[in-house]
């Protein structure tokens, strides 16, 4: 992989016609070490956030040994890339064939479920195995998070008692898991969910061996600056310690976003300007899926040799395809004189960015370059000081 120091150097020397993904291995390594050292339990990386084999290797090299996989494709990918990793199949609705292949071919022993039907599927597919870790997913609120995960999965209050009881009979190790929604903006999201866990345990009166608090740990984006991650960990630790579970019970988490958001960014080129709308060469069908579909505001910076003296104004973007919905409302704050031919770096795209890219309409490329500077924002600042932070932007207020 080609290496550069900073995005500006890439734009200046290569003048790329296609979007270019920039990766920052040091940022992913730092996030992994942070979780491994500070989360008061086991860290499972949620592969869906970014399945890049390079990233998987970086996380492994920095102490992440367990991986939350959600499809047989992810099972195969991680088994191939990290043969010694422990895989946990945490999608509550799986094909029976996928469960069987995961169990018999790839040694997967941990599965999640939220219905009796899924439990029966797992028991059938594994031929009544007696070495299963079964995690019952319970439904919790997403109201303190930016992206809800409260509708699709999770056993409701009236269902958990029977399900926990049945899963206890089939499991060697019984867990309870949940997901508070992605980009949880307050540690209370986990505090409240743990209360639901407590009620479920008390009601079912079963021995629970694992509490898995799922993903949802935030990263930093414009207008979304969360409290320090340590506060989330403290809340979770306190709640875990007060649950009616045995001393040997384990605490797990499945961070996706928080481990990889800082890992990559994207250089795009402006192909046309129409008022405060910029037509750029990546969009709704590319790495900017979330910017278009859930109006996510990513940080942006203009890559010019000499800084513009114009004040920042808010722009919206159009992506390269012929669809009207290839539109990103933003606002993305850039100097007022930005124009056709300019390059822009879109930051914090390591999570749910390149993972979402398609080749629709003939657009989309795989060019990736490693850079050594800092991501545009970080929740891990001050932990290590080895990288250049000249390109870190202020996320809150507009510059001007």
Ligand X SMILES: Cc1ncc(COP(=O)(O)O)c(C=O)c1O
CB of 153: closest distance to ligand X in angstroms?
A: 8
Q: Is 214 in the site for ligand X (CB under 6 A)?
A: yes
Tell me if residue 135 is catalytic: no
Whether residue 338 contacts residue 352, with contact meaning beta carbons closer than 8 Å, is answered with no
Helix and strand numbers, DSSP H then E, in the chain? 11, 19
Residue 152: DSSP 8-state: S
Site residues for ligand X, 299-338, by CB under 6 A, read none
Q: Is 139 in the site for ligand X (CB under 6 A)?
A: no
Dihedral over Cα of 50, 51, 52, 54: its sign: positive
Would you say 143 or 367 has its CB closer to ligand X?
143
User: Which residue is closest to ligand X by CB?
Assistant: 215
Beta partners for residue 222, in sequence order? none
299 Cβ contact partners less than 8 Å away, ≥ 6 residues apart = 221, 222, 346, 347, 348, 376, 377, 393, 395
Helices within the chain (DSSP H only): 7-14, 25-38, 53-61, 72-81, 96-106, 116-125, 160-170, 188-204, 229-241, 257-260, 289-293
Which structure tokens are listed for 80? 């191939």
Q: How many residues bind ligand X (CB under 6 A)?
A: 18
CB of 252: closest distance to ligand X in angstroms?
A: 10
Comparing C-alpha atoms, which of 224, 218, 364 is closest to residue 295? 224
Q: Is 256 in the site for ligand X (CB under 6 A)?
A: yes
Would you say 29 or 90 has its CB closer to ligand X?
90
Position among 34, 103, 217, 233 found at the interface with ligand X (CB under 6 A): 217
CB of 92: closest distance to ligand X in angstroms?
A: 8
Position among 25, 51, 154, 255 found at the interface with ligand X (CB under 6 A): 255
Find the part of the chain contacting ligand X (CB under 6 A) among 168-176, 212-220, 243-251, 272-280: 212-220
x/- letters, 78..97, toward ligand X (CB under 6 A) = ------------x-------
Q: Look at residue 49 and give its three-state secondary structure.
A: helix
Beta partners for residue 300, in sequence order? 346
Would you say 10 or 258 has its CB closer to ligand X?
258
d(CA 354, CA 289): 9
Q: Is 68 in the site for ligand X (CB under 6 A)?
A: yes
CB of 145: closest distance to ligand X in angstroms?
A: 8
Find the part of the chain contacting ligand X (CB under 6 A) among 121-129, 255-263, 269-277, 283-291: 255-263
d(CA 302, CA 310): 12
Would you say 177 or 270 has its CB closer to ligand X?
177
Whether residue 303 contacts residue 11, with contact meaning beta carbons closer than 8 Å, is answered with yes
Q: Is 254 in the site for ligand X (CB under 6 A)?
A: yes
Would you say 67 or 285 has its CB closer to ligand X?
67
Given the rule CB under 6 A, which residues bind ligand X? Answer: 46, 48-49, 68, 90, 149, 179, 182, 214-217, 254-258, 351
Residues annotated catalytic, as ranges:
322
């Amino acid at each position: 992989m080609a290496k550069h120091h900073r995005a500006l150097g890439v734009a200046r020397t290569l003048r790329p016609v296609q979007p270019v993904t920039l990766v920052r291995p040091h940022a992913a390594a730092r996030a992994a070490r942070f979780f491994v050292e500070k989360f008061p339990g086991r860290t499972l990386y949620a592969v869906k956030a970014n399945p890049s084999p390079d990233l998987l290797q970086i996380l492994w090299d920095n102490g992440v040994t367990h991986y939350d996989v959600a499809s047989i494709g992810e099972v195969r990918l991680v088994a191939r890339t990290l043969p010694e990793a422990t895989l946990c199949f945490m999608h509550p609705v799986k094909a029976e064939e996928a469960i069987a292949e995961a169990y018999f071919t790839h040694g997967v022993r941990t599965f999640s479920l939220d219905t009796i039907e899924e439990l029966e599927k797992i028991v059938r597919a594994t031929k009544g195995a007696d070495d299963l870790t079964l995690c019952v997913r319970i439904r919790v609120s997403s109201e303190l998070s930016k992206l809800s995960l409260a509708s699709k999965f999770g056993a409701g209050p009236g269902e958990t008692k029977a399900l926990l009881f049945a899963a206890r009979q089939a499991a060697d190790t019984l867990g309870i898991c949940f997901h508070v929604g992605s980009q949880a903006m307050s540690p209370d999201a986990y505090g409240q969910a743990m209360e639901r866990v407590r009620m479920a345990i008390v009601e079912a009166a079963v021995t629970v061996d694992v509490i898995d608090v799922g993903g949802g740990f935030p990263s930093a984006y414009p207008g979304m600056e969360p409290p320090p991650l340590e506060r989330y960990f403290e809340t979770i630790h306190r709640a875990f310690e007060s649950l009616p579970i045995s001393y040997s019970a384990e605490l797990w988490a499945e961070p996706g976003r928080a481990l990889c958001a800082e890992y990559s960014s994207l250089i795009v080129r402006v192909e046309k300007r129409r008022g405060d709308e910029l037509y750029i060469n990546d969009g709704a069908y590319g790495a900017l899926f979330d910017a278009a579909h859930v109006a996510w505001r990513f940080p942006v910076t203009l890559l010019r040799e000499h800084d513009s003296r114009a004040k920042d104004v808010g722009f919206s973007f159009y992506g390269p395809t012929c669809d009207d919905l290839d539109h990103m409302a933003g606002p993305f704050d850039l100097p007022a004189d930005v124009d056709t031919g300019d390059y822009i770096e879109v930051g914090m795209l390591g999570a749910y960015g390149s993972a979402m890219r398609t080749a629709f309409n003939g657009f989309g490329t795989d060019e990736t370059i490693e850079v050594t500077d800092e991501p545009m924002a970080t929740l891990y600042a001050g932990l290590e000081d080895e990288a250049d932070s000249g390109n870190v932007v202020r996320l809150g207020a507009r510059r001007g």
